[in-house]
Amino acid sequence: MKIIDFTEEYGKEYFCCLEDWSEEMKEAGDHKENWYNKMKDKGLGVKLAVDDNGKIGGMIQYLPVEQSFIEGKNLYFIHCIWVHGYKKGRGNFQKRGMGKALLKAAEDDVKSKGVKGIAAWGISLPFWMKASWFKKHGYKKVDKDRGTVLLWKPFTENAVPPKWIKQKKKPELVPGKVTVTSFINGWCPAQNIVYERAKRAASEFGDKVVFQEINTMDRDVFLEWGMVDGLFIDNKSVRTGPPPSYDKIKKKIKKRVKKL
């Protein structure tokens, strides 16, 4: 197994988070590629883990904290680490050391850029991106927002701990209509799927539903809202991880339309 730098020849795999085999992923559009194209000149690091047969099994992506969705100084932030764990498609690559090697490669890379530490997010419950996995690798919890934990590993004694940026406001509603508000950033195909589904579902109700897109790839927009991804139907937040199905989103909109 080896860790390599991402180059655009691997775009087919990377832009869909190694799920090029998945039908669902086809709904994610080209948002991650657009995000990559914007962030590659802003310090984005992407590394891939390749097995001895040349198959890509894992990826990590990290950005200077100033470009991320947390608050901090002179740090990097890991947006995502993913070692393909499904049997379907390319197969399960987990528990072979790819995760550990990717994390080390990212840490070595950012240390060489002279930053004072690296941060990551995780879930306190034992599913999806487990905070405990980072703890095992020397990361310490610094902040929490409901079940989502912010962790970090300082490299120097004078490093300043990062903080979550929390939601600052709720979408404005259009009187007499159902308002569907979708926040889109691009970094996560699962969230991009939610955006695409919500947009499509909203369009089925004609002028009864207003669809508002809030593009948080622009960091000032993100800072104004304190939300990077998310979906609201009127002022009710819809859970987006894992992505709700198209039918589920449509049903929720329909319920509100009936109340108009």
CB atoms within 10 A of CB 9: 8
Q: Which is nearer to ligand COA, 58 or 162 (CB)?
A: 58
Cα gap 75→211, rounded to integer Å: 36
Task: Give the DSSP letter of residue 130.
Answer: B
> Where does this chain touch ligand COA (CB under 6 A) — which range of 21-29, 96-104, 175-183, 207-215?
96-104
Residue 53 in tokens: 């047969």
CB of 252 to ligand COA, least distance (A): 24
Neighbours of 169 (CB within 10 A): 9
Nearer to ligand COA, 11 or 97 (CB): 97
Binding mask 220-259 toward ligand COA (x if CB under 6 A, else -) reads ----------------------------------------
Which residue in the set 67, 74, 94, 237 belongs to the binding site for ligand COA (CB under 6 A)? 94
- Structure-block tokens of residue 212: 């508002």
Instruction: Collapse the DSSP code of 209 into the 3-class scheme (helix H, G, I; strand E, B; otherwise coil) and give the result.
Output: strand
Helix (H) or strand (E) holding 144: strand 140-145
Residue nearest ligand COA, CB atom distance: 99
Residue keyed to tokens 């669902």: 24
Binding of ligand COA by 81 (CB under 6 A): yes
How far CA 214 is from CA of 58, 195, 234, in Å, comes to 30, 10, 14
> Does residue 55 touch ligand COA according to CB under 6 A?
no
Q: Tell me the closest approach of the beta carbon of residue 152 to ligand COA, in angstroms.
A: 17
Residue 186 touches ligand COA, criterion: CB under 6 A: no
Among 16, 98, 110, 165, binds ligand COA (CB under 6 A): 98
Nearest to 185 by CA among 212, 221, 147: 221
CB of 97 to ligand COA, least distance (A): 4
Contacts to ligand COA by CB under 6 A: 58, 80-83, 85, 94-100, 128-129, 133, 136
